[in-house]
C-alpha cells in the first residue's frame, strides 16, 4: 500500500525518487508543473516524515538508500505477483523467445517461467538474469548498459542496441501506473526507452501489474493502450481501466 497520510503529489514525488535514488528539484518542478518552491516544501514535509532526505538542489532516499526501497517493493502484493507469474507461464509456450523487463512483478514471472523448456531469454535486468542462472537456465542474454537502481536495471544506448538485434515472441513488461486512458506509465524515461525498444521488436506485448498500480500515475507513457496485447493483473481492474482497454482493443487477464 502507498504510504498513509501523504497527498497524491507527495506519493508521486516519493515514487519518482525511489525509482532512481536521487532527483533534482528542477526536474520535479517540471514534471509536476509547479514552482521549485512548491517542490521544496513537499520535500521538507517528506523529510520530516523520514521518507526522503534533502540535498542541495534535490532529494534522495532516507537512510537505507535505494536497496531499502527495492526491498520494500518485494513485500508488496507478493501473492498477487506470484499469481501473475503463474498466469503468464500459462500463456508463454515452451521454446518462445522473450524479453523480460525489470521490476519485482517481472521477477516473479521469471521464477514462474523457470520450468519452460527451451525458453530463449533476453533481459535488461541483472536480477532476472540471476533468477534464471540460479534456476539452472544459463542461456540468458543480458543487454548490458548502465545499471540503474538496486534491482540491476540496465539502461542506455548499449541496451537498446542489443535489443534491436533480436526478434521476440513476447515483450513482458512492468509498469508503475496508468494514464487516464489506460496507457501503462512509468517514472524513469531511460527505462521507458528500453521497454519501447523491446516492444518494437516483439510480436506481442504483455504488461504485468499488481492491483497497487491501478490508482498510480507515472511520469511518462510506456505505450499507447492499444499497443499492449494483454494486461495480466491480480485483481479485477477499475471500471475506467476496463473501459479504456476495451475501447483500445487490449485484452486483460485476472490471475
Q: pLDDT of 140-193, one tens digit each? A: 999 999 887 666 788 999 999 999 999 999 999 999 889 999 999 988 888 999
Three-class secondary structure of residue 190 per DSSP: helix
Q: What pLDDT score was predicted for residue 65?
A: 44
Q: pLDDT of 196-207, one tens digit each? A: 999 999 999 999
Tell me the residue length of the chain.
255
Burial 131-150 (b: 16+ CB within 10 A, else e): bbeeeebeebebbebeebbb
Average pLDDT over residues 104-125: 93
Is the predicted pLDDT of residue 64 greater than 70, yes or no? no
pLDDT > 70: percent of the chain: 88
Closest by CA to 205, choosing from 195, 218, 214, 213, is 195
Give the strand order in the sheet containing 220-221. 177-178, 184-186, 220-221
Task: Point out which residues pair with 52 in neighbouring strands.
Answer: 61
Amino acid at each position: 500500500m502507498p504510504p498513509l497520510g501523504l497527498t497524491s503529489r507527495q506519493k508521486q514525488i516519493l515514487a519518482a525518487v525511489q525509482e532512481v535514488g536521487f532527483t533534482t528539484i528542477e526536474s520535479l518542478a517540471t514534471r509536476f508543473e509547479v514552482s521549485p518552491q512548491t517542490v521544496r516544501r513537499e520535500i521538507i514535509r517528506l523529510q520530516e516524515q523520514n521518507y526522503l532526505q534533502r540535498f542541495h538542489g534535490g532529494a534522495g532516499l532516507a537512510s537505507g538508500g535505494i536497496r531499502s526501497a527495492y526491498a520494500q517493493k518485494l513485500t508488496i502484493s507478493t501473492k498477487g505477483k506470484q499469481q501473475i507469474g503463474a498466469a503468464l507461464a500459462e500463456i508463454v509456450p515452451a521454446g518462445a523467445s522473450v524479453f523480460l523487463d525489470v521490476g519485482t512483478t517481472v521477477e516473479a514471472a521469471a521464477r514462474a517461467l523457470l520450468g519452460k523448456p527451451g525458453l530463449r531469454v533476453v533481459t535488461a535486468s541483472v536480477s532476472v538474469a540471476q533468477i534464471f542462472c540460479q534456476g539452472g537456465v544459463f542461456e540468458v542474454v543480458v543487454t548490458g548498459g548502465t545499471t540503474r537502481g538496486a534491482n540491476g536495471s540496465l539502461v542506455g544506448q548499449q541496451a537498446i542496441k542489443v535489443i534491436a538485434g533480436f526478434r521476440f515472441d513476447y515483450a513482458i513488461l512492468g509498469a508503475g501506473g496508468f494514464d487516464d486512458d489506460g496507457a501503462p506509465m512509468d517514472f524513469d524515461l531511460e527505462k521507458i526507452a528500453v521497454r519501447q525498444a523491446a516492444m518494437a521488436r516483439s510480436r506481442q506485448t504483455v504488461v504485468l501489474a499488481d492491483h497497487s498500480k491501478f490508482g498510480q500515475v507515472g511520469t511518462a507513457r510506456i505505450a499507447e493502450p492499444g499497443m499492449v496485447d494483454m494486461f495480466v493483473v491480480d485483481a479485477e481492474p477499475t471500471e475506467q481501466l476496463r473501459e479504456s482497454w476495451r475501447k483500445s482493443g487490449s485484452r486483460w487477464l485476472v490471475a
